[in-house]
Chain A
Amino acid sequence: MIEIQNLRHTFAIGKKEHERKVPVLKGVTLDVQKGEIVAILGKSGSGKSTLLHILAGFMTPESGSVLVNTKETAKMKEEEKADFRLANFGFIFQNFQLMPGLTAFENVELPLKIKGETVKKRQAKVRALLEKVGLQDVADHYPNELSGGQQQRVSIARALVTDPPILLADEPTGSLDSETEQDILMLIQSLNQSLGLTFVIITHDDEVANVAHRQYRLHDGELVKGEKRHAI
Chain B
Amino acid sequence: MQFKDQLDFIKQHMKRNKLRVATTILAAMMGCAFLIILASVGFGMQQTVTDQVLDNQIVTEIEVAGREDGDSITDQEVEAMHQIAHVKAVTDRTSPNADAVAKIGDRSGFVAAATVDMEQEQKAGLKLSEGKMPSSANEVIIGYHFAQNLLTEEERKKVDDGEEVSGGFAGSLIGQTFQLELTPYEGETEAGVWEFTVAGIKEEPGKDWISDNTLLIDDSWAPVFQEELALEESGRQVLVYADDLQNVADITQTLKDKGYYVYSVTEELGSMNMFFTALKAGLIVVGTVAVLIASIGIFNTMTMAVTERTREIGVMKAIGAKPKLIQKLFLMESAAIGIIGTVLAVLVSYGVSILANWLVPKIIMSSLGEDGEGMGDVSILISVIPWQLVVISAIISIGVAMISGWRPARKATQIDVIQALRQEL
Q: B8 — nearest CB in chain A belongs to which residue?
A: A113
Interface set, chain A 40-96, CB cutoff 8 A to B: 53, 56, 58-59, 78-79, 82-83, 85-87, 91, 93, 95
Contact in complex: A114, B12 (CB < 8 Å): no
Q: B317 — nearest CB in chain A belongs to which residue?
A: A82
B322 adjacent to chain A (CB < 8 Å): yes
Inter-chain contacts of A158 with B (CB < 8 A): 319
Question: Considering the chains assembled together, what is the distance between the CA atoms of A62 and B299 in angstroms?
Answer: 37
Contact in complex: B319, A85 (CB < 8 Å): yes
B128 adjacent to chain A (CB < 8 Å): no
Given contacts A53-B418, A101-B16, whether A85 and B323 have CB atoms under 8 Å apart is no
Within the complex, the shortest CB–CB distance from A156 to chain B, in Å, comes to: 13
B202 adjacent to chain A (CB < 8 Å): no
Contact in complex: B315, A114 (CB < 8 Å): no
Inter-chain residue pair count (beta carbon < 8 A): 62
B135 adjacent to chain A (CB < 8 Å): no
Inter-chain contacts of A87 with B (CB < 8 A): 320
B5 adjacent to chain A (CB < 8 Å): yes
Cross-chain contact of B325 among A100, A102, A114 (Cβ < 8 A): A114
Given contacts A113-B2, A116-B1, whether A100 and B425 have CB atoms under 8 Å apart is yes
Interface centre among B9, B12, B16, B318 (most CB of A within 10 A): B318
Inter-chain contacts of A83 with B (CB < 8 A): 320, 322
Contact in complex: A58, B418 (CB < 8 Å): yes
Given contacts A86-B320, A100-B425, A101-B13, 18 further A-B contacts (CB under 8 A): A78-B323, A82-B322, A83-B322, A85-B318, A87-B320, A91-B318, A93-B421, A95-B425, A97-B315, A97-B421, A99-B315, A101-B12, A102-B12, A110-B316, A111-B319, A111-B320, A116-B2, A158-B319
Question: Considering the chains assembled together, what is the distance between the CA atoms of A87 and B322 in angstroms?
Answer: 13
Within the complex, the shortest CB–CB distance from B340 to chain A, in Å, comes to: 20
B158 adjacent to chain A (CB < 8 Å): no
Question: Considering the chains assembled together, what is the distance between the CA atoms of A95 and B425 in angstroms?
Answer: 9
B311 adjacent to chain A (CB < 8 Å): yes
Q: A110 — nearest CB in chain B belongs to which residue?
A: B319
Contact in complex: B16, A115 (CB < 8 Å): no
Contact in complex: B311, A97 (CB < 8 Å): yes
Question: Considering the chains assembled together, what is the distance between the CA atoms of A99 and B310 in angstroms?
Answer: 11
Q: A158 — nearest CB in chain B belongs to which residue?
A: B319
List residues of B whose CB falls within 8 A of some A CB: 1-2, 5, 9, 12-13, 16, 311-312, 314-325, 417-418, 421, 425
Cross-chain contact of A114 among B311, B312, B321, B421 (Cβ < 8 A): B321
Question: Considering the chains assembled together, what is the distance between the CA atoms of A114 and B314 in angstroms?
Answer: 14
Question: Considering the chains assembled together, what is the distance between the CA atoms of A91 and B315 in angstroms?
Answer: 10
Inter-chain contacts of A82 with B (CB < 8 A): 317, 320-323
A sample of 11 cross-chain residue pairs with beta-carbon separation below 8 angstroms, ordered by A number, consists of A53-B417, A78-B323, A83-B320, A85-B320, A86-B320, A87-B320, A97-B311, A102-B12, A113-B2, A113-B9, A116-B1
Interface centre among A101, A102, A118 (most CB of B within 10 A): A101
Inter-chain contacts of A85 with B (CB < 8 A): 318-320
Q: B417 — nearest CB in chain A belongs to which residue?
A: A58
Inter-chain contacts of B324 with A (CB < 8 A): 79
Interface set, chain A 92-140, CB cutoff 8 A to B: 93, 95, 97, 99-102, 110-111, 113-116, 118
Within the complex, the shortest CB–CB distance from A52 to chain B, in Å, comes to: 10
Inter-chain contacts of A110 with B (CB < 8 A): 316, 319
Within the complex, the shortest CB–CB distance from A78 to chain B, in Å, comes to: 5
Within the complex, the shortest CB–CB distance from A173 to chain B, in Å, comes to: 17
Question: Considering the chains assembled together, what is the distance between the CA atoms of A87 and B319 in angstroms?
Answer: 10
Given contacts A53-B418, A58-B418, A101-B16, whether A114 and B320 have CB atoms under 8 Å apart is yes
Question: Considering the chains assembled together, what is the distance between the CA atoms of A102 and B15 in angstroms?
Answer: 12
Contact in complex: B418, A59 (CB < 8 Å): yes
Inter-chain contacts of A102 with B (CB < 8 A): 12
Contact in complex: A86, B319 (CB < 8 Å): yes
Question: Considering the chains assembled together, what is the distance between the CA atoms of A83 and B5 in angstroms?
Answer: 18
A162 adjacent to chain B (CB < 8 Å): yes
The 8 tightest CB contacts between A and B, nearest first, are A86-B320, A82-B322, A58-B417, A113-B5, A85-B320, A97-B315, A111-B319, A114-B321
